[in-house]
Amino acid sequence: MDRSVEGELKVNVLTNHPSISSSSSSSSSPLWVLYYKECQINFLKKVVAEIIATFLMVFVTCGAAALSGSNEKRVPQLGASLAGGLIVTVMIYTVGHISGAHMNPAVTLAFAAVRHFPWKQVPLYAAGQVIGAILGAFTLREVLDPIQDIGTTTPHGTHVQALIIEIVVTFIMMFVTSAVATDTKAVGELAGIAVGSAVCITSIFAGPISGGSMNPARTLGPAIASGQYKGLWVYMVGPVIGTMMGSWAYRLIRVDDKAVHAISPSYSFKLPTKMNNHQHVVVDPNIDSLV
């Protein structure tokens, strides 16, 4: 058969095939438009994951702090710090593969500053985190009524002292986070434990001085729900400075010389790879590598 005739037959078969012709005719949008819409849907899912994770983080962290403040026999201060670290660990393993489990506008901003997160997605991520924190705080206020203090962080010393301690402890938290979330040589599968432990340790130390917030959303939500805005600026400025310093500090000492690539927000924390029967490493198709 002549090649030109064969080619025409193939074209006719393809164009006359019911499934192909119907899909091409019914879809008036170009492929890139459909892909863009799919990306938008996936991004909205990540924002919703951040709202839920931040809601639960604030509910548990501030709830434990409120119970400890009202009666330390119920929940000791150490128990409140442990609860804060554990909920962060749990949320990292729960939604880390979806949204990155930032739960903190300062962390999102720091990841964007070192090109590990798209700048254009920062506003919606931060908005989702603040919404989750506010919802968590108002829910907690109703649950703990008549307790007035729902874990709102306020300076116990001077504002300068609280600012310095917030910068230092947030630096520690972000330094650890940057290591396990962006460096392939770090223990990525233990990221949740490492970050949760850092949050626990730093909150134990910073609690008596600043409350150990390390998170603008975690402070803003309870502040709005309780109407307590004393020293609010400390917790807006300190954590942002601390996370920026922590992320850049780890980037400076990082041994890997490869250029830092922009990564999807859902890859902020690594997950272990799978092994096939031949013992070759097979990466889960639903999970990309960090760098």
Compute the distance between CA of residue 208 and CA of residue 202 in angstroms, rounded to an integer: 11
Q: Specify the pLDDT at position 145.
A: 83
Written as six digits, the tokens of 208 are 């008596």
Rounded to 10 degrees, the C-alpha dihedral 170/52/81/111 comes to -20
Position 28 confidence tier, pLDDT thresholds 50, 70, 90? low
> Could you tell me if 191 and 92 are in contact, meaning their C-beta atoms sit under 8 angstroms apart?
yes
Cis peptide upstream of residue 146 (ω within 30 degrees of 0): yes
Residues 6+ apart with CB under 8 A from 170: 106, 202, 214, 238, 239, 241, 242, 243, 246
Position 253 confidence tier, pLDDT thresholds 50, 70, 90? very high
Q: Which CATH superfamily is domain 31-255+267-282 in?
A: Glycerol uptake facilitator protein. (1.20.1080.10)
Q: Specify the pLDDT at position 76.
A: 87
* Rg, the chain, Cα only: 24
pLDDT tens digits for range 55-111: 999 999 999 999 988 877 778 888 899 999 999 999 999 999 999 999 999 999 999
pLDDT tens digits for range 152-191: 999 998 999 999 999 999 999 999 999 998 887 776 678 8
| Bridge partner list, 281 | 275
Q: How many CB atoms lie within 10 A of CB 151?
A: 30
> Could you tell me if 268 and 101 are in contact, meaning their C-beta atoms sit under 8 angstroms apart?
yes
Closest CA to 91 of 127, 39, 136: 136
Compute the distance between CA of residue 31 and CA of residue 46 in angstroms, rounded to an integer: 23
Domain boundaries, the chain: 31-255+267-282
**How many residues are recorded in the chain?**
291
Residue percentage of the chain with pLDDT more than 90:
59
Compute the distance between CA of residue 102 and CA of residue 112 in angstroms, rounded to an integer: 12
> Could you tell me if 221 and 134 are in contact, meaning their C-beta atoms sit under 8 angstroms apart?
yes
